[in-house]
Amino acid sequence: MTSNLVPTYAPPNLVFTRGEGVYLYDADDKPWLDFIAGIAVNSLGHCHPALVDALKSQADTLWHLSNMFEVPAREQLAKRYCDSTFADLVFFTNSGTEAVEGMLKAARKYHADNNQPDRIEILTFAGAFHGRTYGAINAGGNPAYLKGFGPAMAGFVQLPFGDEEAFLAAISDKTAAVLIEPVQGEGGVRAADDEFLQLLRAKCDETGALLLYDEVQCGAGRTGKLFAHQWSNAEPDGMAVAKGVGGGFPLGAFLLTQKVGEHMVVGTHGSTFGGNPLAMAVGIALWDELEKPGMMDHVVKVGNFLKQQLAALADEYPDLVVETRGKGLLVGLKLNDKLVAKEVAGLARDEGLLIGAAGDNVIRMAPPLIITEDHAREALQKLGKALQKARDSASK
């Protein structure tokens, strides 16, 4: 069948008609266990009652006003974010790449207003994924995403992920900011060491550079803290969030300290739909659920169980699996060169399990935060069958 869509995606021949909790269903009501959650988006699963109620209720009153007018819920959600984090100021967007772009603008504006307009260098790390817009792909530095979209944007310097020596050699009085994902998703589900994030914070303080976190994928409770960096005692000057903070509704934001955000005055940035009433209603309902007593403890507990199950699976398939990776409910299995992660994900889909493939030949899991240990057992049973099929195929 001819499609009128720009061919940037190649989805499988599979159509879902509804979702409930941690399962998706096709037209024949066949269930699939969803352990990728729209790539870490459906943080409370599909059609969570609290989010559905919030969206339906708001849809009966106001959909859109633009930022020309006050939206009280926007102030409410911004305060919730600031009360829970390092931040003093929030700008709402629709997506993660918008949040990253706005945060990068804020970093450069900060230095320009402090009489250092030429201080534009931003240190980033190999394996990063910061979005698909022009600035974001240059920040990410992935050659596959940059090909055909030149010239390269000036000012980005990419370093090996977690390499202290390379970082210490690179940071200087020319550095405007350091941008990092505390847990890389696309780059192979790699978590930065607490000590590395603390080193970044210390050197940024020493040189006057800003520390920026991209928590679009690893934030919103996914690691068992509201935001992944909160495990490390290394607070940033800015942070981009999206995906899970909307629970499936388009919502993003960049969060800033007062010293950085105060330079983003009227006319420096804007968004037509960012902070719209529908997104704010869903965002508040989502945050209510994340802050319920025991929610983060649940993520830690079930995340540890899932990681243990993955480790057992790795022991069962030492000829295929190199190691387990990740933190909380953003985890992965690195495969050796006998297998291709994307193909294993396809075999898992045949078993009724939805997972993803990340860089470095890693199977990625980012299930809803509401999964139970029984869901984890079911997922690993299905993944085990997929790995067995892959082993059998590789031995032929």
* Alpha carbons 165 and 158: distance in angstroms, whole number: 13
Place of tokens 């918008």: 98
Rounded CA gap, 12 and 17, in Å? 15
| Residue 242, SS3 per DSSP | coil
C-alpha span between 71 and 338 (Å, rounded): 54
Q: At what angle do helices 295-316 and 277-290 cross, to 10 degrees?
A: 80
**Tokens for 386?**
């997929």
H or E stretch at 326:
strand 321-327
Distance in Å from the first CA to the final CA of the chain: 34
d(CA 195, CA 290): 27
d(CA 126, CA 104): 18
Measure the CA–CA gap between 296 and 298, rounded to whole angstroms: 5
Separation of alpha carbons 23 and 46, rounded Å? 7
Which residues fall within 8 angstroms of residue 199, CB to CB, at 6 or more apart?
Answer: 164, 167, 168
As a whole number of angstroms, the distance between CA 101 and CA 43 comes to 24
Tell me the pairing of strands 23-26 and 16-20: antiparallel
Q: In the beta sheet, which residues pair with residue 21?
A: 46
Catalytic residues: 129, 214, 243
Pick from 382, 351, 377, 379: which is nearest to 365 by CA?
379
